[in-house]
């Protein structure tokens, strides 16, 4: 499902504040306010960077777990095939060729 965050280039949209556009000219005394606002934005971006790095680490860890599970399952599948191929009767038996289940039937009264 696509959402706003998956749209390409949306994160690069500049707001009025980030474009440094103002409805009225700057006053020299507003330098402190500007410094404060820039400092707050810097803190917010640093926190977001930290969250993203933690999320990226978690994703890498999960991918490693998935790869190890895939490898284990492939090894067990190869072992099952090897045992099936070396069966003493010469015929291989798999779960797909096993006993077929019959459908359960029931009547519905309205």
Residues listed for the chain: 110
- Which two three-digit tokens encode residue 73? 């399952």
Contact in structure between 80 and 87 (CB atoms under 8 Å): no
């860890």: which residue's tokens?
61
Dump pLDDT digits (tens) for 73-99: 999 999 888 887 765 444 444 555 566
pTM: 0.50
Find all residues with CB under 8 Å of 94, minimum gap 6, and list them.
84
User: Which of 52, 48, 44, 57 minimizes the C-alpha distance to 17?
Assistant: 44
Contact in structure between 4 and 10 (CB atoms under 8 Å): yes
Dump pLDDT digits (tens) for 19-42: 666 666 666 667 888 899 999 999
């Amino acid at each position: 499902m696509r959402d706003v965050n998956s749209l390409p280039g949306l994160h690069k949209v500049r707001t009025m504040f980030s474009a440094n556009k103002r409805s009225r000219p700057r006053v020299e005394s507003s330098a402190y306010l500007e410094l404060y606002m820039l400092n707050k934005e810097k803190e917010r971006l640093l926190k977001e960077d930290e969250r993203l790095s933690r999320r990226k680490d978690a994703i890498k860890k999960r991918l490693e777990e998935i790869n190890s599970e895939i490898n284990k399952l492939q090894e067990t599948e190869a072992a099952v095939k090897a045992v099936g191929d070396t069966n003493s009767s010469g015929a291989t038996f798999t779960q797909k060729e096993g006993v077929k289940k019959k459908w359960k039937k029931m009547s519905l009264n309205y």
